[in-house]
Each structure stands twice: as structure tokens, then as C-alpha cells.
Amino acid sequence: MLTGTDLLTKVKELGDAGKSEIVRACGYVSSKKDGGERLNFTAFYEALLEAKGVEIGGSGGGRAGRKLSYVATVQGNGNLLVGKAYTAMLNLRPGDEFEIKLGRKQIRLVPVGAEDEGEE
């Protein structure tokens, strides 16, 4: 059974293939008592989510869910989204304002009225 980047690569390679074919090609298959084939969709999807950085189940201690990657992607409409998990970590509230500071290869958000401690 493929996991991690190998799984992601294989799924991309198979592109337009059907779900069953993808699950089979990635090795998520077992045998039934009658000798037939059983596709393990749940195990496949759990491995796929884990490969994409989404934690499920967990150890029961904290909140289960997605691990923060500290990476943002520019969306198709040009927006750069900073998710709720990040704003919650900083106790930001609706209406909080920031100045956008552009460096050579970085963007910094500085709360309005705060002193900018970053470098250009």
C-alpha cells in the first residue's frame, strides 16, 4: 500500500481513472473469505488525507484535525488567504487592521499603530 508522497504521485499519475482503479493501483486491496477482491476505500482515503497533512483520529488529547503547514497559496482570483486557525492563534478579531509591508521576497502584516520590528 502506497503512502505519503508516493501515494500522492500515483494518484496524480492516474488522473482521470475511476476511484476503484486508483484504490487498486495504490495497493489498497485485500482478499475476501470467498477469494474475491475487497477494495479498502477507507484506508485509502485516510492515507490520502494523511499524505496531504490532514490528521484524523489523533491521540484523543487535543483537537483532531488539520496540522498547520504555515504555507499559504495564492488562490485563482489572486487572493492570499490566511486561515482562521492562524488568526485564532494571534487572537485577531473581525475589524482588526494591518498595514501591508512588502519586502524583496516577503509580505509582512503589521497591526495599525504598532511599531514594525521586521527587516526590509
Q: Which domains does the chain have, with CATH numbers?
A: 4-51 (no CATH), 68-114 (2.10.260)
Closest CA to 118 of 70, 106, 5, 63: 106
Q: Which residues contact 7 (CB under 8 A, 6 or more apart)?
A: 26, 47, 48, 51
Residue 75, pLDDT above cutoff 50: yes
pLDDT digits (tens, 9 = 90+) for 94-111: 899 999 999 898 999 888
Number of CB atoms found within 10 A of residue 26's CB: 21
Number of CB atoms found within 10 A of residue 108's CB: 15
Looking at residue 60, what is its pLDDT?
A: 46
Burial level of 23, CB count in 10 A (0-12/13-18/19+)?
buried
pTM: 0.47
Looking at residue 26, what is its pLDDT?
A: 93
Q: Which residues contact 101 (CB under 8 A, 6 or more apart)?
A: 107, 108, 109, 110, 116, 118, 120
Contact by Cβ (8 Å): 111, 96: yes
pLDDT digits (tens, 9 = 90+) for 2-61: 998 899 999 999 988 999 999 999 999 988 888 889 999 988 988 888 888 876 655 444
